[in-house]
Amino acid sequence: MKVLVIGSGGREHALCWRLARSPSVRALYACPGNPGMAAVATCLEAGGTTPEDFLHAAESVDADLTVVGPEAPLVAGIADCFRAAGRLLVGPSRQAARLEGSKIFAKQFMRRAGIPTAAFRVAANEAEAREALKHFGVPVVLKADGLAAGKGVVVARTRQQAEQAAADLLSGRLVGPAGSQLVVEECLEGEEASFIVLTDGRRVLAFECTQDHKPVNDGDTGPNTGGMGAYCDGRILSAPQREQVLERIILPAIRTMEAEGTLFTGFLYAGLMLTAEGPMVLEFNVRMGDPEAQPLMHTLEGDLAAALASAARGALDESALRWNGRPSVCVVLASEGYPGTPRVGLPISGIERAEGKGAVVFHAGTRRRNGELVTAGGRVLGVTASAADLPGAIDRAYAAVREIHFEGMHYRRDIARKGLKRW
C-alpha cells in the first residue's frame, strides 16, 4: 500500500523509519516531512495546515492509508475530512479528539467514565482560579485547557506561585489562547509512565510501556518541555499494574466513548502517575507520543502499516505487531533557549558517527540550508539506541550523543536512570 505520514517531527520520523520496514508498504510519503524523513520517504508540500490541505496531499499521491502524527490536525477534524472523502486514516474524529484538545473535557469525561484521576476544579478567570486553589494544598497543578505543545502545565510549589501561574496562563502570556480556561488539580505523587494503545474503537493492541522526561533539566527540575527523552522497557509496569491500566483506564475510556456515540479509533495515550493507590491518569492524548514514539518504534517488530490499516478499517489485527524485548532509550538534543525561544540555523555535525555507535538519530527540528543540515526548532534530534538490558541501552545512547554537536546544544544526562532500580 501507499502510506502518507503527516507531520515533521521526531515522532513522525520514527513512524516513517518503522513503516519503511513494513512488508505491506510499497511507497511512503511524508507531509511536510524533514531531512531525516526524506531518507526513507518522499516529502510532499501541503500548501497549508488545514485538514483540506492534507487531504489534497493524500489525493495527489492516491495514498491508501494516512497516519497523523501531531495532535493539532486531529483536533481540527482531519479524520472527519478524510472519511467524508472515502480515504483511510489512522486517528479519532474531531469529537473524540477533544480528549486531548480540551483538558476540561478530558477531566469531565474521566469523571463520567469512572477513570481514576486527580481531584480538580475548573477556572475561567483569576477570581475563579483563586477560589479553586482554596480546595487544594501545595504543590498544586494548573493546566491550560487547550493545546499547548506540552508547555501548558505548571506545578506550583507555593500559593503565590500558583496564583501567578494562573494569572500568566489566563492572560495568554504563557501559552496564548490555550490558557483561556484552566484545570486546577491536586498534585499526585509517584512515578510517571506513558501507556499507549492502538484501537479500532472496540479492540485494543497495547504497546510496551514507556516513560517520558518532561522537565528540561536533570532530576526533573526546570520548566516543562515537549519531552527531553524517553525510554521503553517492559519492566516499567508489573503485570498486575498493566492489567489495572487496561481494565480501569483504557477499556472504560474506549467503552464510554462508544456509549456516548463517539467511537474512538487510532492511538490512545494515557499519561499515568503510578500512585500508592494504583495508576491514575494525568492526561489523555489522541496520538502516538513524542518522544515515546522513538524508543517504541525502535523496539517494535512486524508490519506496522498492516496493523494501522486494520485499526482504521475497524478490524484491528493484533497479530501484526510484536516486541523484541530489548529496552530502548531516546535522548533529545535541544537548542539553546529551549523551552523558550530557541536559536535556529546552526550547523549540525556528527550524526553519521553517532549512528556508527549503533544508534538511530531521529530528526525533530532540522532543515537543509544550501545542502547543510542546520537546527530549525527547539527539540532538534532524538538519539535512540537499544540493548539487551537497560544499562546497556543507556550507555549506547549517550555514547552516540557525544558524537553530535551544534552550538548551544543541551540535553538531560539522566534519561532512563529511574528505570535502573528495576534491573
Gap between the Cα atoms of 68 and 84, Å rounded: 16
Q: Tell whether the model's pLDDT for residue 12 goes beyond 90.
A: yes
Q: Tell whether the model's pLDDT for residue 347 goes beyond 80.
A: yes
Pairing state of beta strands 27-32 and 42-43?
parallel
User: What mean pLDDT do residues 101-122 have?
Assistant: 97
pLDDT at 46 (0 to 100): 83
pLDDT at 210 (0 to 100): 98
pLDDT at 246 (0 to 100): 98
pLDDT tens digits for 47-63?
Answer: 899 999 999 999 999 99
Q: What is the mean pLDDT of the chain?
A: 96
pLDDT tens digits for 183-216?
Answer: 999 999 999 999 999 999 999 999 999 999 999 9
Domains and CATH numbers, the chain: 2-93 (3.40.50.20), 125-180 (3.30.1490.20), 189-323 (3.30.470.20), 328-422 (3.90.600.10)
Query: Are 27 and 3 a contacting pair, CB within 8 Å?
Result: yes
pLDDT tens digits for 129-153?
Answer: 999 999 999 999 999 999 987 778 8
pLDDT tens digits for 251-288?
Answer: 999 999 999 999 999 999 999 999 999 999 999 999 99
Q: Tell whether the model's pLDDT for residue 224 goes beyond 90.
A: no
Q: Tell whether the model's pLDDT for residue 394 goes beyond 90.
A: yes
Pairing state of beta strands 140-144 and 182-186?
antiparallel
13 contact partners, CB below 8 Å, separation of at least 6: 34, 36, 37, 362, 363, 364, 382
Could you tell me the pTM of the whole model?
A: 0.96
